[in-house]
Amino acid sequence: MAEAQSGPSNARKRKYRSDGVSPTWVKRTIEGPGIWATCVKGKEKGTVGELYDLFESLATDMWPIEGHDSSANDRDNGSDAGENEDDLETQIAKEVAALKRPKVEKRFANCLTNTQCVIFISCKPPVDPVKLVMKHVDNVQKTGVTRTKYTHRLTPVSGTCVANLPELHSLCRRTVAAYCAQENSEGSPRARKASLHTHYKVELRVRNHNTLTRMEIIQEVAKCMPSNYTVDLDNPDVFVLVEVFKSTFGMSIVEDYYRFQKFNVMELANAHNEPERFEKGAGRVQDKKQDDNEIM
């Protein structure tokens, strides 16, 4: 009898996980391009909510949806008409019209990690996670406003795959080819420099994975880099970000990784709002850059 009574209660408890994230509204697998985020322990659910709001706001400006503004204006007009006390039939007609509007497909989805302090938000086209994160960290560095409360570090990945060497090699090839094609199409000074010689560094982070060693992963990534790319651990032009989480491998290629405090938004905000804390000898990333300048 006691077991029968405890059954429904346990079922209700299992609906929510220890990190506060309900499996009914998250993806059970980590897939596609997306953004890894670390956060305050125990605040995973709140972090997901604030990242949804942040990413949607940035994506709306960077990749506007056709007809979205007009829908917003319609809603505003409807609210104004409500304030003018329209008759009941008009209000009902407006509500019915609002229900019939096509729903905008969500461009971000939280993927279940079952790990404290670690979150993965997948992105759907046309959202580019690298451009999204670069836009945000640039804003934080200029303003000192993070727009988030619990988020620490953001790490974009242009793609993900199963963490084995053949899949890793294939993803590296695709990511490097896409990055080079994008740089060449934009015609930036860095792209012209890259056509001659480029220095790079692999930034590897491994969590809950013991199948492949760090050296195996780094060597496989190095095999996929173009011939004019040379390893430089002290003064790289680009950074190859590699994230290995359990059985998932993700990577991206970014610039100015150290200048943006390794995409740690809290550190960026502190550097802007409390510059005295980031004088020489106060921060690891800052120290490294200053030491490099002294050597040069």
pLDDT at 275: 73
Query: What's the pLDDT score for residue 185?
Result: 79
Q: Which residues pair with 204 in a beta bridge?
A: 242
In the prediction, which pLDDT does 194 show?
Answer: 52
At residue 67, the pLDDT reads: 58
Query: What is the pLDDT, as a whole number, of residue 105?
Result: 74
Q: How far apart are CA 55 and CA 176, in angstroms?
A: 25
pLDDT for position 103: 67
pTM here is 0.76
Residues (pLDDT < 50) of the chain are: 1-6, 8, 11-25, 70-78, 80-84, 284, 287, 290, 293-296
DSSP string, 41-52: TT-HHHHHHHHH
Backbone angles phi, psi at 187, to 5 degrees: 65, 35
Q: Determine the Cα–Cα distance for residues 205 and 215; give it in Å rounded to an integer.
A: 12
pLDDT at 245: 96
Q: What is the pLDDT of residue 294?
A: 46
Please report the pLDDT score of residue 63 as a whole number: 94
Digit-coded pLDDT (tens) for 56-96: 999 999 999 875 554 444 444 445 444 445 578 888 887 87
Helix 129-143 with 44-62: angle, nearest 10 deg: 100
The angle at the Cα of 164, spanning 163 to 168, to the nearest 5 degrees, equals: 80
> What residue has token string 């792209």?
191
